[in-house]
């Protein structure tokens, strides 16, 4: 799932829905891109609620958020666990 799909449709949710509608079901699992418009942590929660089997976080190290690193994943995992989501 490219960033361009989400950007052209205007929201992550619209991109995920289009991906599900048009990508062959033979492409398992449904892995949703999370970081195009919103904070990765919150977009990943939305993706889980939308039916994602996994999420892709690929924020580069030079971004304003400092990229994906172990402390970020630990903080995010805690937030996701509090909502009842499993790893």
- Residue 53's pLDDT is 82
Single pTM value for the model: 0.70
Long-range Cβ contact pairs of 11-19 (< 8 A, separation 24 or more) = 11/37, 12/36, 12/37, 12/38, 12/43, 12/46, 12/47, 13/46, 13/50, 16/47, 16/50, 16/51, 16/52, 17/50
pLDDT tier at 49 (50, 70, 90 boundaries)?
confident
pLDDT tens sequence across 5-48: 999 999 999 999 999 899 888 887 788 888 788 777 788 888 88
Q: Where are the domains of the chain?
A: 3-82
**Using the 8-state DSSP alphabet, how is residue 31 labeled?**
E
Tokens 């079901």 correspond to what residue? 25
pLDDT for residue 63 is more than 60 = no
**75 vs 2, higher pLDDT:** 2
Question: Can you read off the two tokens belonging to residue 40?
Answer: 């990765």
């Amino acid at each position: 799932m490219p960033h361009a799909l989400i950007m052209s449709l205007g929201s992550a949710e619209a991109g995920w829905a289009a991906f599900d509608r048009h990508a062959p079901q033979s492409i398992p699992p449904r892995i949703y891109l999370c970081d195009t418009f919103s904070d990765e942590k919150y977009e990943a929660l939305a993706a889980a609620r939308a039916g994602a089997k996994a999420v892709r976080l690929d924020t580069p190290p030079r971004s304003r958020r400092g990229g994906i690193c172990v402390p970020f994943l630990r903080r995010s995992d805690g937030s996701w666990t509090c909502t009842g989501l499993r790893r």
